[in-house]
Homo-oligomer: A and B are copies of this chain.
Amino acid sequence: MRLTSFTDYGLRMLMLMASAPERAYSTAELADAFGLSRNHLAKIMQSLSRGGLIETRRGGGGGAVLARPASEIRLGAVVQHLEQGQALVECFAGDGGNCTIHAQCRLKARLRSAETAFLSDLDRSTLADIALEPIAQTE
């Protein structure tokens, strides 16, 4: 059972943004804070932006800001958005996969139920609950 690194990194970015919701974080700053590639994070940022979770501004002084208060952004929703297109098992994919059971499969429903349980449990928390302390700007 695995989440993509895409999701992992996206969560870290949001955690940091939630720490100081009033200011804009640039991808360069986030990449620096986490020791990751700037361009890579830019892709994730774009996904978050399209998902309506953050708002971005170009140009000097630009960057990304949470679109809503951190306390209104539920973790399950975030994960669900970032994991878009990731099928839990083959037969959950768009084309249904090549499973030969299919018709009489009673497992599918149980997996969906479990998936929902996973997301619901995450939805009990919001970004405000996991916000980081602002990174030390001592230098």
CA A83 to CA B3, docked complex, whole Å: 13
B12 touches A99 (CB 8 A): yes
CA A33 to CA B121, docked complex, whole Å: 37
Residues of A76-122 at the interface with B, using a CB-CB cut-off of 8 Å, are 79, 83, 86-90, 98-101, 104-107, 110-111, 113-122
Stretch at the interface among A20-28, A43-51, A58-66, A129-137: A129-137
A12-B101, A117-B120 are contacts. A2–B86 as well, Cβ < 8 Å?
A: yes
A107 touches B87 (CB 8 A): no
A106-B129, A110-B75 are contacts. A118–B115 as well, Cβ < 8 Å?
A: yes
Residues of A1-29 at the interface with B, using a CB-CB cut-off of 8 Å, are 1-5, 7-8, 11-12, 15
Number of copies: 2
Which of A8, A88, A119 has the most C-beta atoms of chain B within 10 angstroms of its own C-beta? A8
B88 touches A15 (CB 8 A): no
By a CB distance below 8 angstroms, the chain B residues around A132 are 101, 104
By a CB distance below 8 angstroms, the chain B residues around A2 are 1-2, 4, 86-89
Q: Give the 6 A-B residue pairs with the shortest CB-CB distance, closest first.
A: A117-B121, A118-B118, A114-B121, A106-B130, A8-B89, A107-B130
